[in-house]
């Protein structure tokens, strides 16, 4: 029955999407493929896709292997459904919070939420042997991890204005690459001598790299803006002299 409901919702969504696309075609013509591909000449767009990939690996490494970590905490296989439900409620809240903060301050959101996810993963790793504290940590992880999605998407769209549909599609591909990498990393940790209890710590490694990359990109962006702003006053006297 569950699969039938999901199939019906998917069919309804597909029909609605087709209607929207057909209406959009009548309002404007789509840019050529060559024009859209030229959008990827922007290094900021490529950097944004890399941020998505590196930052999201941490989510899938932990979430994809939360079952063995939950067993370390003392949960049985029968308990896993409501453990996932608690994490899922955190995902919903995080998505809403991430959207609000990204609208208010995109730069701060790109730094705040990856840092929060890293901290939540490390805390979950330390609390893995303790049943109820670990459950609370997984809820916080759900909030912090999914709050990253809107800022990541907005950064990609900010630098992919020339080809918004293609940029959004590429960002989904970056998420999927992260999903695959997360599965590989989580599986390697489970099979290693460290065991499932080390998964949260392993999950935090690539998001740390993503956060450092975000900081470097934002610093360069501020430097470019400041250099461009300082160049404007020097151009005004020259223009007056030429007149």
Label each residue of the chain as H, E or C: CHHHHHHHHHHHHHHHHHHHHHHHHHHCCCCCHHHHHHHHHCHHHHHHHHHHHHHHHHHHHHHCCHHHHHHHHCCCHHHHHHHHHHHHHHHHHHHHHHHHHHHHCHHHHHHHHHHHHHHHHHHHHHCCCCHHHHHHHHHHHHHHHHCCHHHHHHHHHHHCCCCHHHHHHHHHHHHHHHHHHHHHHHHHHHHCCCCHHHHHHHHCHHHHHHHHHHHHHHHHHHHHHHHHHHHHHHHHHHHHHHC
CA atoms within 13 A on the CB side of 92: 6
Give Cα 57 to chain centroid, integer Å. Answer: 9
pTM above 0.85, yes or no: no
54-218: CATH, from 3.90.1150.10, 3.40.710.10, 1.20.1250.20, 3.40.50.2300: 1.20.1250.20
**Domain spans in the chain, listed from the N-terminal domain onward:** 54-218
CA distance 202 to 21: 42
Q: How many residues does the chain have?
A: 243
Q: pLDDT in tens for each of the 243 residues of the chain?
A: 556 666 776 667 666 656 655 555 545 566 677 777 888 888 999 999 999 999 999 999 999 999 999 999 999 989 999 999 999 999 999 999 999 999 999 999 999 999 999 999 999 999 999 999 999 999 999 999 999 999 999 999 999 988 888 999 999 999 999 999 999 999 999 999 999 999 999 999 999 999 999 999 888 877 776 666 665 555 555 555 455
The pLDDT of residue 3 is 63
């Amino acid at each position: 029955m569950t699969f039938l409901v999901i199939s019906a919702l998917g069919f309804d969504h597909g029909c609605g999407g087709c209607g929207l696309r057909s209406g959009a075609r009548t309002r404007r013509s789509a840019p050529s493929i060559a024009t859209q591909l030229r959008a990827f000449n922007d290094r900021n767009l490529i950097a944004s896709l890399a941020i998505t990939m590196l930052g999201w690996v941490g989510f899938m490494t932990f979430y994809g292997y939360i079952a063995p970590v939950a067993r370390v905490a003392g949960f049985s296989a029968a308990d896993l459904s409501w453990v996932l439900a608690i994490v899922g409620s955190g995902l919903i809240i995080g998505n809403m919070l991430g959207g609000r903060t990204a609208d208010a301050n995109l730069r701060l959101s790109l730094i705040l939420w990856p840092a929060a996810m890293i901290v939540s993963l490390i805390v979950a790793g330390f609390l893995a042997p303790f049943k109820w504290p670990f459950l609370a940590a997984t809820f916080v992880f759900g909030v912090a991890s999914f709050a990253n999605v809107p800022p990541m998407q907005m950064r990609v769209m900010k630098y992919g204005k020339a080809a918004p549909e293609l940029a959004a599609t590429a960002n989904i591909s970056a998420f999927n690459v992260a999903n695959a990498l997360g599965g590989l990393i989580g599986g390697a940790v489970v099979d290693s001598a460290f065991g499932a209890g080390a998964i949260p710590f392993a999950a935090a490694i690539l998001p740390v790299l993503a956060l450092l990359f975000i900081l470097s990109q934002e610093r360069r962006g501020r430097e470019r803006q400041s250099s461009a702003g300082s160049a404007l006053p020097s151009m005004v006297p020259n223009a007056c002299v030429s007149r």
